[in-house]
């Protein structure tokens, strides 16, 4: 991130809108001194949330991008998303649905891509499926999924020729302790948007009725090794040091307890 360039951009937008540093700081809930620091590029002395508040007050978006090995990080993220999407598509097909991946649309101000657009011919039901490998922002997830579901009937008709009568929504999360823990913390909010989960959600997929909201946890597929089992998660630990019998030089010894947060077994509730 170019701190100086970001600071100059904040200053330019502030001046363009006829605001003093004091005015912008008051509107964003920060001090005039902090605004001055940001505009001079001293971001190492300012919290990220404060910079985001200034950007939002000026009608702009602050996006922090992490780059690694020329795009390899995107490939790693995409692998997890694709694995979860594959499991979801297989589940839907076994329940009698047809599904199309990554269906893009642009309907006036509404634009986006539906991860899986599914169709149940027997009931003329369209299902907008949202795949999340991580549940980072509940509010953003609900907002975007609602927008996609609102456009699902039109998108299904125009992009797939499906004349649906009702649109429903399905949120798919990874079946991991982290995802379940985060979902549990927001249970009341999630339940309002997705009242059907687990067995009830799977039963609805077999015989859909009405514009339901579903939440299902599915395990990842280990694509890299060609296995169908869930991918285990590993916590990185520092190596233990032991002293060689032939000298005092410490050597690293692998920690056999390094595996943490194992993926749920077949008996886990979805």
Distances (CA, A) of 202 to 103, 198, 267: 23, 6, 15
Distance CA 22, CA 8 (A): 17
Q: Name the strand (E) or helix (H) holding 111.
A: strand 110-120
In this structure, how many other beta carbons lie within 10 angstroms of the beta carbon of residue 161?
8
26: which 2 tokens? 């008051």
- E strands within 146-231? 166-174, 196-197, 213-218
The pTM assigned to this predicted structure is 0.60
Give me the tens of pLDDT residue by residue for the chain, a chain 270 residues long. Answer: 688 899 999 999 999 999 999 999 999 999 999 999 999 999 889 988 899 999 999 999 888 777 666 556 666 667 888 999 999 999 999 999 999 999 999 988 898 999 999 999 999 999 999 999 988 888 889 999 999 999 999 999 999 999 999 999 999 999 999 899 999 999 999 999 999 999 999 999 999 999 999 999 999 754 433 444 444 444 545 555 444 444 444 444 444 434 344 444 434 445
Cα 203 versus chain centre, distance: 26
Reading the block at residue 156, the tokens are 């299904």
* Predicted pLDDT at 244: 46
The pLDDT, as a whole number, for residue 80 is 84
Dist. CA 219–CA 63, nearest whole Å: 30
| Domains defined for the chain, CATH in brackets | 3-57 (1.10.260.40), 70-218 (3.40.1350.10)
- The tokens for 117 are 């657009």
From the DSSP assignment, how many helices (H) and strands (E) are in the chain? 9, 8
Residue 224, classified by CB atoms within 10 Å of its CB into exposed (0-12), middle (13-18) or buried (19+), is: exposed
Q: How far apart are CA 152 and CA 114, in angstroms?
A: 8
């Amino acid at each position: 991130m170019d701190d100086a360039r970001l600071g100059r951009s904040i200053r330019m937008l502030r001046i363009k809108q006829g605001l003093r540093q004091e005015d912008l700081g008051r509107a964003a809930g920060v001090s005039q001194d902090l605004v001055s620091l940001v505009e001079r590029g001293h971001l190492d002395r300012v919290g990220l949330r404060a910079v985001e508040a200034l950007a939002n007050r000026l009608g702009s978006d602050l996006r922090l991008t992490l780059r690694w090995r020329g795009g390899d990080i995107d490939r790693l993220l995409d692998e997890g998303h694709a694995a979860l999407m594959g499991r979801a598509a297989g589940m839907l097909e076994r329940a009698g649905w047809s599904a199309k991946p990554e269906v893009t649309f642009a309907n006036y101000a509404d634009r986006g891509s539906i991860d899986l657009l599914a169709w149940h011919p027997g009931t003329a039901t369209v299902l907008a499926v949202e795949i999340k490998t991580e549940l980072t922002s509940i509010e953003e997830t609900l907002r975007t999924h609602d927008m996609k579901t609102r456009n699902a009937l039109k998108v299904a008709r125009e992009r797939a020729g499906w004349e649906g009568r009702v649109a429903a929504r399905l949120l798919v999360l990874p079946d991991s302790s982290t995802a379940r823990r985060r979902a549990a913390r927001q249970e009341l909010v999630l339940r309002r948007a997705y009242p059907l989960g687990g067995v009830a959600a799977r039963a609805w997929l077999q015989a859909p009725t009405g514009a339901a909201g579903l939440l299902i946890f599915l395990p990842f597929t280990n694509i890299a090794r060609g296995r169908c089992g869930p991918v285990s998660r590993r916590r990185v630990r520092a190596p233990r040091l032991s002293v060689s019998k032939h000298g005092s030089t410490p050597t690293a010894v692998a920690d056999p307890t390094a595996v943490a947060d194992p993926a749920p077994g077949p008996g886990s509730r979805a």
